[in-house]
A and B are shown apart, each in its own frame.
Chain A
Amino acid sequence: MAKVIVVTSGKGGVGKTTTSASIATGLAKRGHKTVVIDFDVGLRNLDLIMGCERRVVYDFVNVLQNEANLKQALIKDKHCDNLFVLPASQTRDKDALTPEGVEKVLNELRENHDFIVCDSPAGIEQGAVMALYFADEAIVVTNPEVSSVRDSDRILGILSAKSKRAAENQEPIKEHLLITRYSPERVSSGEMLSITDIQELLGVKLVGVIPESQTVLQASNSGIPVIHMNDSPSGQAYEDVVARFLGEERPMRFVEPEKKSFLKRLFGT
């Protein structure tokens, strides 16, 4: 059975697209046939992060409006055989996403994929609601910061009240908390909410912690999902997330501050 996963957050700029790209890549690398869809209609970005922006011919809205079929619109990833990207339209607006249209596309994709990863736009409007409405599982991306945590709580409320599963009284969407842009040093000095704080506040099972890392920007500069950066902490942390998502037990890494020398501790960095 194909699974629809939404990557959502409420707040903008917390790392949804970065996460969607890496998780979809990770699932595909492990042999699962995966498609990642950009729901951010009007502000397409996933194609850039996946490095396929020059191969976009048709997009999600073209498919919804029967101007192209799925086969024409899906872009095959250049690194992974099992991975496809369905880009968002750059010119239309989010009202182009109707529940009937989206459901039809998702059902067609379910037929021959194992995972469908939906990269949600920020906010709680039509685009964001359409991205989560048909989800089986949700990855709630949260930064250790008050407004992000509050927005995540809001999105959790919407997941449990306004999704298709809620409307039809089915088993609720399975929720996973993903904390990104985490700085263990700042947490240990008391300037940043800790993993425990966030988990206590939101009450959702933690699927991973991605450290704040310069590699993420380097990866997006070159159009390579950061999970390909095998020797970077953020790449490895995403690798762990995919493993945990698929049911493996893995200890959290990169969540403790690096040991500093005495002089560094005395004078700061």
Chain B
Amino acid sequence: MSILDYLLKRKKKSANIAKERLQIIFAAENMDKNGPDFLPELKRELLEVISRYVAVDQDLIQVNVERDSECDILELNIPLSGSHIKQKNKVAKAAKAASH
């Protein structure tokens, strides 16, 4: 890229985007390989319970175990988008409230 290019359009560096995307993939794969054995099972069961109350998009759910120096932290990330919520009962609403 020439200096003129640079001044004219200051592109976002695509190599950085590539690296970040790969880091995310590898971290997730490592989690599957090195995470506790029960993780996939836990994820499946949690999903089952949660989807009894609200509609969730499977692909958006993240279950991670974060290694801290003192302890492991189980981190659940379950995005609930308003329109998809079945709102069968109050629990669903509670869950929605909690997510905000």
Contact with A along B1-40 (1 / 0, CB 8 A): 1111100000101111011011101100100010000000
Closest residue to A194 on the B side, CB-wise?
B15
Contact with B along A142-173 (1 / 0, CB 8 A): 00011001100100010000000000000000
Total chain A interface residues with beta-carbon distance under 8 A: 21
A190 sits at the interface (CB 8 A): yes
Total chain B interface residues with beta-carbon distance under 8 A: 19
Alpha-carbon separation in the docked complex, A238 to B29 (Å): 33
**Are B14 and A191 in contact, CB atoms less than 8 angstroms apart?**
yes
* Most B CB within 10 A of own CB, among A191, A264, A269: A191
Question: With A146-B21, A149-B22, A153-B26 in contact, is A197–B15 under 8 Å at CB?
Answer: yes
Chain B residues within 8 Å of A189, by CB: 1
Q: What is the CB-to-nearest-CB distance from B72 to chain A, in angstroms, rounded to a whole number?
A: 22
Residue A267 contacts which of B2, B13, B25 (CB distance < 8 angstroms)?
Answer: B2
**Are A190 and B16 in contact, CB atoms less than 8 angstroms apart?**
yes
Contact with A along B56-72 (1 / 0, CB 8 A): 00000000000000000
**Are B26 and A190 in contact, CB atoms less than 8 angstroms apart?**
no
Q: Is the interface of A mostly helix, strand, loop or mixed?
A: helix
Chain A residues within 8 Å of B18, by CB: 145-146, 193, 197
Alpha-carbon separation in the docked complex, A149 to B21 (Å): 11
**Are A267 and B4 in contact, CB atoms less than 8 angstroms apart?**
yes
A192 sits at the interface (CB 8 A): yes
Contact with A along B70-84 (1 / 0, CB 8 A): 000000000000000
Q: What is the CB-to-nearest-CB distance from B96 to chain A, in angstroms, rounded to a whole number?
A: 36
Chain B residues within 8 Å of A197, by CB: 15, 18-19
Question: With A190-B15, A191-B14 in contact, is A150–B5 under 8 Å at CB?
Answer: no
Residue A201 contacts which of B11, B13, B23, B33 (CB distance < 8 angstroms)?
Answer: B23
Chain B residues within 8 Å of A267, by CB: 2, 4
A259 sits at the interface (CB 8 A): no
**Are B22 and A266 in contact, CB atoms less than 8 angstroms apart?**
no
A187 sits at the interface (CB 8 A): yes
Chain A residues within 8 Å of B1, by CB: 189-191, 268
A265 sits at the interface (CB 8 A): yes
Alpha-carbon separation in the docked complex, A193 to B22 (Å): 11
Chain A residues within 8 Å of B16, by CB: 190
Chain B residues within 8 Å of A192, by CB: 15
Question: With A153-B26, A201-B23 in contact, is A265–B15 under 8 Å at CB?
Answer: no
Contact with B along A128-144 (1 / 0, CB 8 A): 00000000000000000
Task: Taking A145-B18, A193-B19 as given, write out 5 further A-B residue pairs in contact, using a Cβ cutoff of 8 Å, ordered by the A residue number.
Answer: A157-B33, A192-B15, A265-B3, A268-B1, A269-B2
- A selection of 19 A-B contacts at a CB cut-off of 8 Å is A145-B18, A150-B22, A150-B25, A153-B26, A187-B15, A190-B13, A190-B15, A191-B14, A193-B18, A194-B15, A197-B15, A197-B18, A197-B19, A201-B19, A201-B22, A201-B23, A265-B2, A268-B4, A268-B5
